[in-house]
Amino acid sequence: MAQRQATQQTYCNPMDISYRYNFEQLNERISYRSGADPVIINHKSGGRPGEYYLFVTIQGGWWHSKNLVDWEYIVPNKWPMEDMCAPAALSVRDTLYLFQSTFEQRPIFISTEPEKGKLIFYNRWMPRLPKDIGPWDPALFHDPDTDKWYMYWGSSNVYPIFGAELDKSRNLTYAGNNPAQAYKAMFWLDPYQHGWERFGPNHSDPIKPFTEGAWMTKHNGKYYLQYGAPGTEYNVYGNGTYVGKDPLGPFEYAPYNPVAYKPGGYATGCGHGNTFQDNFGNYWNTGTTWIGVNWGMERRIVMNPAGFDEDDQMYVNTRFGDFPHFLPTKKVDTRPGLGRPGLGRPGSGQSGDELFTGWMLLNYKKPVTASSMTDTMRAELVNDENPRTFWASTKNKPGETLTVDLQQECDIRAVQVNYFDYKQTIFDSDSSVYTQFKILTSRDGKKWDVAADLTKEPKRDHACAYVELPLRADGKPIRARYVRYEHVYVAGPTVAINGLRIFGNGSGKAPATPGKLTVKRQKDQRNADLAWEKVPGAVGYNIRWGIAPDKLYQTYQFWNDQPNTFELRALNVGVPYYFAIEAFNENGVSILSTVVDDQSGLAKK
C-alpha cells in the first residue's frame, strides 16, 4: 500500500477496511462480510500526535490508523469471554479503556500499547445489573473538567437509554453501595412527537422503534447524549442527541434532530456510531449503513464530518456523504454550504463543505458490459446505486471484466469497488481472504492504460475498495471515456460486485437550479409533502432542510429517474422547518434554490 499511502488524500464511504467474514449466521451456513456499531478513538500517548483506533462489532480485533484512511487490522493478545459486540472505548491520559456489551459480569480492559494489541484487565468484572437492563451498547465518558467518570447504555424498544456514574477509586465500578440502584433512565424514544424515530423504510412501519448506541460528547460546557434510532435494518437509521448541563441530566430533546441522517443515495443509514475529534480539532460522526441481503444485519460503516455551529447546534454533514471527501490537514468548516460548495480544496474560502472534493458520480446507469454474467445478476446492476442488487460472474477467475461507457470523456479521479458476498462459503477471514484487481481506462475503447493495480500492494481484503487515481505526468487528471474493472482475486467460489462507482468530472456545465419547490406540512406535523420541478441534464437532486434558513443541515438525495414528489416523514412536532433544493450531474452542483418555509411556502432570505 506504499504507493497509495503516498498519494491518497481522500476517502469515500462505506469505509475501506478489511471487514471480517460473518459471525452471526455461522450455524445457518450463511457467509458474508459485515461491520457495525463503530467507535473511532483518537488515542494520544507518550506525547505523540494522536492515532486512531476503530472498534466494530464482533471483528476479532480492531483497526489502527495514523491518517483515517489506511487501517491496519490488530489482533489482541487476549480477549474477553466472548468477542466484543458494540464495544465502548475511551482514551484518557495515555490509556485506552475497552468494555463490551453484556448482560453478565464482564471486565473493563485497558491498553497503553493498543497498536501492539496488548490488553490487560483493569477490573475483573462490572457488577451484574437487574435482568434485561444491560449494559448493552455501552459508552464510557470521562469529564475532563471534573475528573468524573460515567457510563451510558441501552439497546431496546422497551427500555430507555440509561446512565450511571462510575467510581474511579473502585476501578470504575458503579458509584454507590448498591449497583442495582446506581443507574437511572436518561430518556425514551417518542415517535409520536419525533417523526424520524418511527420504524421502517422511510419511517413507515408501526413496529415500536429501537434506541441504541449511546455516546456522550461535551462541548462548550454542554453535554450531548447521542443515540441511534429507529432500527439498523432501514435507510433511515440515524443519530440524535439530547442536551443537558450535567452528565446525568436532566436532558432536553434537540429540536433539530436527527443530527446524522442519510436516507438516500448508495450508502443509506448512518446510525449507531460515535463522535470524535481528529488531530486538527475537526469533529467526525461514525455510523452503520445497511445492506441486508444475505442477512438482515449485513452492514458496513461510515464516517461523516460533524461539528457544532455558532449556536452550539450539533450537525453531521451527510450531503454527498458517499462521494469522495478530502482528509483534512487543518481545522476546516464542514457545515453543509449554502452557496455552491465542493468546488475547491480545503481552505478555499468557500462557505462550508470544505472537505467535499466536488468529484461527481460519473457512471449512474451508464452502459456497462461484463465478460460473463450469472442468471439475473446482470452487469448493469453495478451502476444503479443500490447495494442490494449486484453483478456476479460465472466463475471466480482472473480476467473477468466490467467495462463502463461514460458516454463522454471525463476527468477520472477515483473508483470504488464494492464487493458482494454471493453464495460465499468463507467463515474466517484468514490469510486467504484478500482482494486484488486492476482499473484500466481508455479514450476509444481500444487502447487501454492501467490506472491502478492492487497486485502491487501488500495483500489485504477490500470489501469496499476505494482507489484515488494518480494524476498524469503533467499534473492533470486521467482523461477517459471508458473505465474497466479487471478481476484478479477474491476468496471464495464467486466474484460479485454491487457497486462499481466512478468519480470525477465531465466537461459540461452543472445543471440549473431547480424551481418550484413546494413544501406542505401535513396535519400530522411529522410529515410534509414535497414537490419540485426537474431540470434538464440533472442526474439527481438534494432536498436540504433545517430549523432555520441558514441551518439547512439535513439532506435527502434523489435520482432524476425517481418521482419529483415525496412524503418526508422525519420531522418533529411543533418545530418549523425551512427547505431548499439543488441539482447535480456529472459536471457539478447547481446553485442552491431559494429557501421556502413549511407553512406558507414563501421564500425566506
Domain boundary among 322, 354, 374: 322
- Nearest-CA neighbor of 484 among 578, 376, 576, 406? 406
The tally of domains found in the chain comes to 3
pLDDT range class, residue 352, cuts 50, 70, 90:
confident
Alpha-carbon distance 139 to 37, whole Å? 11
Res 342 pLDDT > 50: no
CA angle (258, 55, 163) in 5-degree steps? 55
pLDDT at position 47 is 80
Per the model's pLDDT, the better-predicted residue between 403 and 4 turns out to be 403
Q: How far apart are CA 215 and CA 272, in angstroms?
A: 9
CA–CA distance, 560 with 265 (Å, rounded to integer): 12
Three-state SS across 348-411?
CCCCCCCCECCCEECCCCCCEEECCCECCECHHHHHCCCCCCCEECCCCCCCCEEEEEEEEEEE
Task: Please state the pTM of the whole predicted model.
Answer: 0.95
Assigned domain for 352 exists: no
What is the distance between the alpha carbons of residues 133 and 377, in angstroms, rounded to a whole number?
A: 44
Amino acid 88 reads A
Q: List for the chain the helix, strand, coil content (%; round to 5).
A: 5, 40, 55
Residues 489 and 549 grouped into a single domain: no
Task: Give, in order, the Cα–Cα distances in Å from 258 to each of 228, 253, 271, 378.
Answer: 9, 10, 10, 37
Query: For the domain that residue 423 is a member of, what is the CATH number?
Result: 2.60.120.260
The Cα–Cα gap between 93 and 605 comes to 47
Domain boundary among 272, 292, 322: 322
Give the pLDDT of residue 81.
73
Which of 448, 471, 505 is a domain's end point? 505
Evaluate whether residue 338 is within a structural domain: no
Residues 205-229 have pLDDT tens digits of 999 999 999 999 999 999 999 999 9
- So what's the pLDDT on residue 347? 38
Say whether pLDDT at 350 is over 60: no
What is the pLDDT confidence band of residue 340, given thresholds at 50, 70 and 90? very low
Cell of 96: 485506552
C-alpha cell recorded at residue 55: 472498534
Please identify which residue in the block is written with the cell numbers 442468471: 375
Are 489 and 553 in the same domain?
no
> Are residues 491 and 538 both part of a single domain?
no
DSSP structure string for 166-180: EEGGGTTEESSS-GG
**pLDDT tens digits along 6-64:** 568 999 999 999 999 987 777 788 999 999 999 999 999 888 889 999 999 999 999 99
Q: Which residues contact 6 (CB under 8 A, 6 or more apart)?
A: none
Clarify whether residues 314 and 428 are in a common domain.
no
pLDDT in tens, 385-413: 999 999 999 999 999 999 999 999 999 99
Burial pattern 56-91, b for ≥16 Cβ within 10 A else e, equals bbbbbbbbbebebbbbebbebeeebeeebbbbbbbb
Nearest CA-CA partner of 247 in 219, 214, 224: 224
Residue 375 lies in a domain: no
